[in-house]
Amino acid sequence: MPTETEIANLALIKGGGAGDQESGTGLIASINGSGRVEAQCKLLFPRVRRRIYVDLAVVKAPFKPTLAYKDLGAANASPPEIGGWDYAFNLPGNVLAVMKQISEDFITTQSSITDRKPIEYRFDILYQGTTKILVTNDLTNTACTSAFVQYVFDQKNTGTFSEALIQCIATLLASELAPTIGMTDEKRTALLAEYINVSIPNAKKSNLAQFNTTTRVIPSYKAGRTESLPTV
């Protein structure tokens, strides 16, 4: 299982090693250490992770272990008068991005989540102070009293991380560590380009592959005949 320290060290390798080490491996022993590089790795790691989760959500390829479903409960008493919305719901505090508002029946009537496309509903996300709220005109939980959503949360368990995601984190973290480990602006720019043009597209392909789990049946055109059609 990869650890935060191992992923941080991959980032340091991409950037040429820990800049405050004149000898040794250029790596850190622990992300929880007291050194300058360790402290900045620890500070930046969760911020980089959350940004990547949102970037993947934006391209409609969320990392599957970050997905959750939620019945949002009772509607707020007075939805904002923006866009003529009928209902407003408080979102969970760990929401990074809402992917879809769907019918709860899509989940509860299946033994497992498949690629069958649910009906999606129009919604918007607004802010009231520090609270994120979802506004909608549709009630989609089983009892039709609430909104049911699929959303992305901050998955912290490194044991779930795919190799593609690890590469995203290492590449973006390396660019963020540039001032600390003495990278040039050109190297930092190159790492950002790698993240945008290589790491994210690779992670997108990897993530989308995790949803292609339905059985595909070749259509039969025999129209009731028992014999096979001639081949060409």
Domain count, the chain: 2
- Give the rounded percent of residues in the chain with a pLDDT score beyond 70: 81
Reported as a pLDDT band with limits 50, 70 and 90, residue 19 is low
| pLDDT for the residue numbered 119 | 79
Please check whether residues 120 and 94 belong to one and the same domain: yes
Give domain status of residue 221, yes or no. no
| Mean pLDDT of all residues in 37-54 | 96
Which residue, among 103, 95, 87, 96, has the nearest Cα to 136 in the 3D structure?
87
pLDDT tens column, 64-119: 999 999 999 988 876 766 678 899 999 999 999 999 999 888 776 554 544 456 67
Give domain status of residue 226, yes or no. no
The radius of gyration of the chain from alpha carbons, rounded to an integer in Å, stands at 23
Please check whether residues 126 and 110 belong to one and the same domain: yes
Please check whether residues 46 and 72 belong to one and the same domain: no
Rounded Cα–Cα distance for residues 107 and 101 (Å):
12
Please check whether residues 198 and 137 belong to one and the same domain: no
Give domain status of residue 200, yes or no. yes
| Mean pLDDT of all residues in 170-181 | 93
| Mean pLDDT of all residues in 33-41 | 91
Rounded Cα–Cα distance for residues 36 and 111 (Å):
49
Give domain status of residue 231, yes or no. no
Question: Of all residues in the chain, what percent are helix, strand and coil, respectively (each to 5)?
Answer: 40, 15, 45
CB atoms within 10 A of CB 60: 10
- Give the rounded percent of residues in the chain with a pLDDT score beyond 90: 59
Please check whether residues 135 and 164 belong to one and the same domain: no
Please check whether residues 38 and 90 belong to one and the same domain: no
Please check whether residues 84 and 138 belong to one and the same domain: yes
Helix H or strand E encompassing 166: helix 163-176
Position of tokens 């999606």? Answer: 120
Give domain status of residue 216, yes or no. no
Domain ranges, residue 34: 4-60+157-209
Please check whether residues 148 and 172 belong to one and the same domain: no
* Whole-prediction pTM: 0.83
Reported as a pLDDT band with limits 50, 70 and 90, residue 232 is very low
